[in-house]
Structure 1
Amino acid sequence: MQVVIAESAQEVAQLGADHICRLIKNKPAAVLGLATGSTPIALYQELISRFQHGILSFSQVRSFNLDEYVGLEPDHPQSYRHFMNHQLFKHININLQNTHLPDGTGDPVLQAERYEAQIREAGGIDLQVLGLGRNGHIGFNEPCSSLGSATRIKTLTPETLRDNSRFFSSDEFQPTLAITMGIGTIHRARKALLLATGKAKAEAVKQMVEGPLSASCPASALQMHPHAVVVVDPEAGALLTHHDYYHRVRAETDLLAMEHYQ
């Protein structure tokens, strides 16, 4: 796991976009794993800007999102399909038929199995973007999720429901179930890129990076991923112990990259 402590939340988005740009330039038909939530919005704005400036094309890219609520139609304002369309897809040149999210309106067990099969048929995910829940969840893999789990239905914890309740009005149906990629599914991505910003994520970042490998912090499974990069801003990284080492690794990695591309 490489840990990068960026100078700001804006740089977190820029560094995340750099990883995606390098992948697509080397593999125009890349398969991206995408995430929803507040942190990825800045990343998507950065990707949109690079597309608009002619730096990046998504014409051959395929995507698979981490999760979707059970019981929401795709055009529901709080569905993740709606989120992705309005935060990213409609602003770039990606073919909407190549963008995939779990279907939360059918039989959720069958839809989860179908989604897992679709990912395999696409050849797997090249780079999976991840956010981080305050309780350490990735996707909707709540604490005590199996570290080898596949795409499946998950019951959301009261903490996650509280965190997400700001997106729903008081008289609006808020789903308590979701279909989510499993931790095992995420682990099979060829690269994992987790972004975290803000002091509310500091404890989860510490447990993910420097705590024990444990289902109590599902994101700690990234410690076992062969190509995981964690990018955090100073507030999210405030509780990390080994700041000097992380900064040294970043400097050495940047130097190697410069020598490679000379």
Structure 2
Amino acid sequence: MRIYVANDYNDLSRKAANIISAQIIMKPNCVLGLATGASPVGTYKQLIDWYNKGDLNFEEVKSVNLDEYKGLGPDDEQSYAYFMHSNFFNHINIKPENTYLPNGLEADEAKECERYNGIITSVGGIDLQLLGIGCNGHIGFNEPGTSFGKETHCVTLSDNTIDANARFFKSKDEVPKQAYSMGIKSIMQAKQILLIASGENKADALYNSILGPITPAVPASILQLHNNVTIVADKEALSKILVEHTITSGGNLQ
């Protein structure tokens, strides 16, 4: 596990975008696992900037997203499909047929989970998976207590997650109570994982995920068992770890 300390959110976004751009340059037809929420917006902006300058080409890239709210269609402004197009896809030359998200309008949970697992398999697996982390340690919408062995599944969101996402809606009552999420097993099968975190409110989750026991109570703690994980976080998010450890310029804990 490599850990890089960012000076601030902009620095975090540049460092994360550097890692993703290196993957695209090394393998132009790579498969990117993508995330939504506030954390990756700056990373997407940096990648768009480099695309506009001619430094990146997404023509052969495929993407699979972590999750989608159940009950929301792609035209709903709060859906993750809408988010991805507004913040990333519409601004680069990725082919629409190469972007995949769970279908939030599919009522048949078993059918949709099987379909999405099939997509991940059909594209050859994920080369680099981008992750944020919830204040309760969730990755994707894999809430505390989720089995590490799950693939795509329908999740009932915790009150903690609903509260955290309420800021994107007019009221807490409008936040969907369920979502389709790529499972932890699927995430762990990615060849490389990049986790980004910003802000003091992520400090406990990051500490428990990196230095705590590996337990379903902290879903991100499973990342300790992956052989190619990079964490890019600002000093606030890493504050509880930096108190106990130093992090070398190469990104390793001491």
1:159 and 1:4 mapped to 2: Cα distance? 27
Match of residue 72 from structure 2: 72
Alignment of 1:63-212 (within 5 A): 63-106=63-106, 107-170=108-171, 173-212=174-213
Q: Secondary structure at 1:93's aligned position in 2?
A: coil
Structure 1 Cα separation of the partners of residues 233 and 227 of structure 2: 19
1:5 aligned partner: 5
Query: Which amino acid in the other structure matches residue 181 of structure 2?
Result: T
Equivalent-residue separation in structure 2 for 1:221 and 1:171 (angstroms): 30
Partner of 2:50: 50
| 1-structure distance, mates of 2:171, 2:155 | 23
In 2: Cα distance, 1:73 partner to 1:16 partner: 29
- CA shift, 1:10, in A, is 1.2
- Aligned AA (2:201): A
One-letter amino acid of the structure 1 residue matched with residue 34 of structure 2: L
> 1:232 is paired with a residue of what secondary structure?
strand
User: Could you give the per-residue CA deviations for residues 68-98 of structure 1, whole angstroms, max 9, x where no partner exists?
Assistant: 0000111100000000000000011111111
Opposite residue 51 of structure 1, the aligned amino acid is Y
Pair 251,115 (structure 1): closer, same or farther in 2 beyond 3 Å: closer
Per the alignment, in what secondary structure is the counterpart of residue 40 of structure 2?
A: helix
Tell me the equivalent position of 1:29. 29
Is contact 2:4-2:249 (8 Å) kept? no
Secondary structure of the corresponding residue to residue 175 of structure 1: coil
Kept in 2, the 8 Å contact 1:70–1:108? The answer is: no
Amino acid paired to 1:167: F
Deviation at 1:241, TM superposition (A): 4.6
SS in 2 for 1:120: helix
Aligned length: 252
Counterparts of 1:228 and 1:139, CA distance in 2: 16
Q: Is this contact kept in 2: 1:125–1:188, CA < 8 A?
A: yes
Residue aligning to 1:62 = 62
Q: Which runs of 5+ in 1 are unaligned?
A: 253-262
Q: Secondary structure at the match of 1:38?
A: coil
Question: Shift of the alpha carbon at 1:249?
Answer: 3.6
Q: Secondary structure at the match of 2:47?
A: helix
Conserved? CA contact 1:5–1:247, under 8 Å = no
Q: In the TM superposition, what is the alpha-carbon distance from 1:245 to its structure 2 partner?
A: 3.9
Residue 233 (structure 2) aligns with: 232
Query: What TM-score, normalized to structure 2?
Result: 0.95
Distance 1:243 1:2 in 2: 16
Cα contact 1:151–1:181 (8 A) shared by 2: yes
Q: Which amino acid aligns with 1:233?
A: D
Q: Is residue 30–residue 61 contact of structure 2 (8 Å, CA) maintained in 1?
A: yes
Change (3 A) 1:229 1:242: farther
Greater shift in the superposed pair: 109-118 or 178-187:
109-118
Using the TM superposition, give the Cα deviation of residue 243 of structure 1 relative to its aligned residue in structure 2, in angstroms: 6.4
Q: 1:214 is matched with which residue?
A: 215
Q: Tell me how far apart the structure 1 counterparts of residues 226 and 149 of structure 2 sit (CA, whole Å).
A: 12
- In structure 2, how many angstroms separate the alpha carbons of the residues matched to 1:172 and 1:213? 33
What is the deviation of 1:171? 8.7
Identical residues among aligned pairs (%):
42
SS of aligned partner of 1:102: coil
The runs of at least 4 consecutive aligned structure 1 residues that moved more than 6 Å come to: none
- TM-score, normalising length: structure 1: 0.93
Q: After alignment, is 241-250 or 98-107 more displaced?
A: 241-250
Aligned partners of 1:247 and 1:9: how far apart in 2?
20
